[in-house]
Amino acid sequence: MRYPARMHTPHALALATLLLCPLAHAADDWTPEAWSQHDTLELRTNVPGEGEYWFPVWLVVLDDQVYVRLGSKAAGRVEKNETKPYLGVRIAGLQFDRVKETPAPEMADRVAAAIGDKYWSDVLLRWLDHPLTLRLEPDTE
């Protein structure tokens, strides 16, 4: 028996959504060393008047911790984030909905050096303002 196309549409949309969107993962799936060779992760903020926004950033893993260095625009989004101190993070096909962002100014020089070693194009970008260095850790509460 053949069904009209409109009957398949909701099921197809639901299946596509499940297949294309990473599922939220728990803190147990947070494995920084496994991601040390990845170039980027995506951060999610939710800023009043603008809504949810995902953006890519470079990452480095130091001492089994994930660090990112943010430029002025991204730092502003993090500062205004409605879910502060939590961000969403996507990496390696995984999505974490509650990752704690902790400012780590004491790591800024070390993170900048690691980014310079990892990313050749940082030879130009290092001269731009990067006011915020963050350590990212999964929510364990």
Identify the pLDDT of residue 13. 41
Per-residue pLDDT of the chain (141 residues; tens, 9 = 90+): 554 555 454 444 444 444 444 455 566 799 999 999 999 999 999 999 999 999 999 999 999 999 999 999 999 999 999 999 999 999 999 999 999 999 999 999 999 999 988 887 655 665 556 589 999 999 877
**Domain range list for the chain:** 22-138
Compute, in degrees rounded to 10, the torsion defined by CA atoms 106, 110, 112, 118.
-150
Query: Which CATH class for the 22-138 domain?
Result: mainly beta
Q: In what order do the strands lie in the sheet with 40-47?
A: 51-58, 40-47, 86-91, 94-103, 132-138, 65-70, 60-62
- Which pTM does this prediction carry? 0.78
